[in-house]
């Protein structure tokens, strides 16, 4: 039975060492409903441009080597169907890693963090066929599922701006070692993540968990590390004045910096909560400065007060007041979510917690906006 074919346009990121700047090349490929992004790229390399550089291995989402950014979202190219994507399909290399050529990045710095976390875990036994969970255990689950694909680090908004951040993959690996040391020293691992660029640097956008192809849940692991550190379980006291082992800066990586915050492609609610939290924080600082400036003007006399009251009753001023109220409510409520999840409370239900707090925001905003209008026009 023949499959229907169609022509798909692919915009592929291109860069070779020595090029003055990156560029995008457009290729047309023939695809069936089952054609993957990786198969399309291989067809381009085979039939149109043999200079295209990409990395792949297993073709069934087990090795993690074909991680790429497709239409703005980190995916494994070998299991991502062209039929599920909007055209034209834009294919880019992973972010926050040194770029080697075209779609290939240097994963060496990424792998090095696993060694610092005490990985790899070495298997010492297997579940026997027909074995059942012990009493009180609901089910047997796979403990180590990380493919070491780097998708989480590429998607992380903190990694986009902080080159020293350990990253979600390394922190998730650290939590697995703490849970099951297998000869490693959990206290040493906890001391390693207990630093400025460790688990405290994460802002719990959970984009790492969203893009993870194997449901490793790095965001929840980071929250668990924070909870363990707050409780102090298994952590040796650091000598007075001693600092955590400094993290050597990685090689220059391809980072979009702040531009990554405003790329809407393929991002989940936690990512936008992260961005909006920072924007509202900056806006509140600017408002405070403006507020102090207005107070200095009001000190000039009664006429200044009369002018200000007239301005405060204008529709534009009331709209700005409602916007300010939104900023205060969002920054405070999202900060509460970050604090709770960061301590391990509702980490597995962080989206539900976020939307519950946003419902509180809407109710408070409606009540507060009505109160502002009623006060301005009694």
Confidence of residue 27 (pLDDT cuts 50, 70, 90): very high
Q: Does residue 246 have a pLDDT over 50?
A: no
Residue with the two structure tokens 């990121």: 13
β partners of residue 308: none
* C-alpha–C-alpha distance, residues 159 and 164, integer Å: 8
* C-alpha–C-alpha distance, residues 25 and 20, integer Å: 15
Confidence of residue 243 (pLDDT cuts 50, 70, 90): very low
* C-alpha–C-alpha distance, residues 346 and 353, integer Å: 7
Burial 314-343 (b: 16+ CB within 10 A, else e): eeeebeebbebbbbbbbbebbeebbebbbb
Furthest CA-CA distance within the chain: 87
Domains and CATH numbers, the chain: 6-105 (3.10.20.30), 108-118+145-244 (1.10.1060.10), 269-376 (1.20.1300.10)
* C-alpha–C-alpha distance, residues 244 and 47, integer Å: 52
Q: Does residue 239 have a pLDDT over 70?
A: no
Nearest to 92 by CA among 111, 79, 77: 77
* φ, ψ dihedrals at 16, nearest 5°: -125, 145
β partners of residue 26: 11
Confidence of residue 196 (pLDDT cuts 50, 70, 90): confident
Residue with the two structure tokens 């939307």: 355
Q: Does residue 140 have a pLDDT over 60?
A: no
Indicate if the alpha-carbon torsion angle 158, 164, 169, 174 is positive or negative. negative
**What is the four-CA torsion angle of 89, 90, 95, 101, rounded to 10 degrees?**
120
Is residue 101 helix, strand or coil?
strand
pTM exceeding the 0.75 threshold for the entire prediction = yes
Lowest mean per-residue pLDDT among 126-135, 155-164, 294-303: 126-135
Give tens-digit pLDDT for 261-315: 677 677 777 888 888 888 898 899 998 888 888 888 787 778 887 887 777 778 8
Residue with the two structure tokens 């929250």: 223
CA angle 209, 213, 218 (to 5 degrees): 30
Query: In terms of pLDDT, which residue wins out, 368 or 10?
Result: 10
- Asked whether the beta carbons of 152 and 69 are under 8 A apart, the reply is no
Give tens-digit pLDDT for 68-105: 999 999 999 999 999 999 989 999 999 999 999 999 99
Pair of tokens at residue 345: 């409370």
Average pLDDT value for residue range 151-167: 90
R_g (Cα) of the chain, nearest Å: 25
β partners of residue 68: 75
pLDDT of res. 315: 80
Instruction: Give the mean pLDDT of the chain.
Output: 83
Which whole-number Å values give the CA distances from 44 to 38, 40, 102, 168, 376, in the listed order?
A: 10, 6, 13, 33, 65
Average pLDDT value for residue range 328-346: 83
pLDDT of res. 256: 59
């Amino acid at each position: 039975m023949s499959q229907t074919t169609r022509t798909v346009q692919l915009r592929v990121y291109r860069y070779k060492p020595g090029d003055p700047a990156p560029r995008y090349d457009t290729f047309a490929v023939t695809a069936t409903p089952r054609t993957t992004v990786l198969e399309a790229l291989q067809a381009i390399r085979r039939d149109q441009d043999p200079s295209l550089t990409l990395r792949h291995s297993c073709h069934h989402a087990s090795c993690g080597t074909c991680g790429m950014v497709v239409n703005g979202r980190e995916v494994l190219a070998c299991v991502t169907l062209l039929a599920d994507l909007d055209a034209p399909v834009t294919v880019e290399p992973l972010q926050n890693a040194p770029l080697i050529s075209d779609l290939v990045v240097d994963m060496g710095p990424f792998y090095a963090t696993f060694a610092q976390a005490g990985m790899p875990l070495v298997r010492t036994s297997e579940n026997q066929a027909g074995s059942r969970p012990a009493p009180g255990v609901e089910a047997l689950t796979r403990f180590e599922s990380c493919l070491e694909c780097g998708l989480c680090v590429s998607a992380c908004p903190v990694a986009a701006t902080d080159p020293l951040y350990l990253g979600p993959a390394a922190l998730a690996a650290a939590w697995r070692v703490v849970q099951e040391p297998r000869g490693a020293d959990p206290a040493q691992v906890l001391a390693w993540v207990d630093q400025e660029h460790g688990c405290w640097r994460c802002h719990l956008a959970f984009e790492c968990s969203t893009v993870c192809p194997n449901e490793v849940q790095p965001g929840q692991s980071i929250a668990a590390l924070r909870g363990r550190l707050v409780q102090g379980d298994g952590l040796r006291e650091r000598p007075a004045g001693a600092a955590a082992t400094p993290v050597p800066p990685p090689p220059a990586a391809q980072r979009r910096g702040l531009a990554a915050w405003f790329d809407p492609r393929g991002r989940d609610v936690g990512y936008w909560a992260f961005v909006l939290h920072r924007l509202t924080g900056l806006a509140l600082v600017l408002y405070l400065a403006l507020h102090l400036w207005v107070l200095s003007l009001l000190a000039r006399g009664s006429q200044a007060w009369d002018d200000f009251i007239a301005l405060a009753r204008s529709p534009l001023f009331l709209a700005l007041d409602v916007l300010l109220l939104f900023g205060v409510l969002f920054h405070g409520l999202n900060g509460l979510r970050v604090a709770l999840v960061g301590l391990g409370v509702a980490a597995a239900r962080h989206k539900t917690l976020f939307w519950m707090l946003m419902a509180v925001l809407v109710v408070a905003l409606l009540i507060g906006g009505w109160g502002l209008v009623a006060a301005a026009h009694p």
